[in-house]
Amino acid sequence: MRYMMLIYSQENDAVTPDDMQAVAAAHGALMEEARRRGILCAADPLQASSTATVLRLQDGDALITDGPYAETKEQLAGYYILDCKDLDEALAWAAKIPTACAGIAGCIEVRPLREFPQRAPVNA
């Protein structure tokens, strides 16, 4: 079953290029490991939440506002989609995903993807 791992972390202006590079390297290694095991479906980092735009349909009209959707301390920063046998395996992978930004730990929300019967799951 595919699980989406949503990475939430605190956006911090104090991030140095060195920090960025270290985090990117850690993600790169993890993605490589998941790819080697044949379970990596997708993984991407997102641009900062200040780049987000929210669109809401109201009476058929698109109402566009400056984002993000929710003004929370921790913001969605990226995601992985991994094909795991069960939640415990997914949680074990999630535990390896770096969430810290400039030393402040974030968190990962793990959610199963809804599989539709007509669409065969990846690597089934």
Residue placing its CB nearer to other proteins in the complex, 28 or 112:
112
- To other proteins, the closest distance from the beta carbon of 37 in angstroms equals 17
Q: Which of 101, 47, 51, 100 is nearest to 78 (CA)?
A: 47
CB nearer other proteins, residue 104 or residue 122: 122
Neighbours of 97 (CB within 10 A): 21
Which residues, listed in sequence order, are joined to residue 101 by a DSSP beta bridge? 104
In DSSP terms, which residues pair with 80 in a beta bridge?
Answer: 5, 43
Compute the least distance from the CB of residue 24 to other proteins, in Å: 28
Query: To the nearest whole angstrom, how small is the minimum distance from the Cβ of residue 109 to other proteins?
Result: 11
User: How far is the C-alpha of 92 from the C-alpha of 96, rounded, in Å?
Assistant: 7
Residues at the site binding other proteins, with contacts judged by CB under 8 A: 1, 85-88, 91, 110-112, 117
Q: CB-wise, 2 or 27, nearer to other proteins?
A: 2
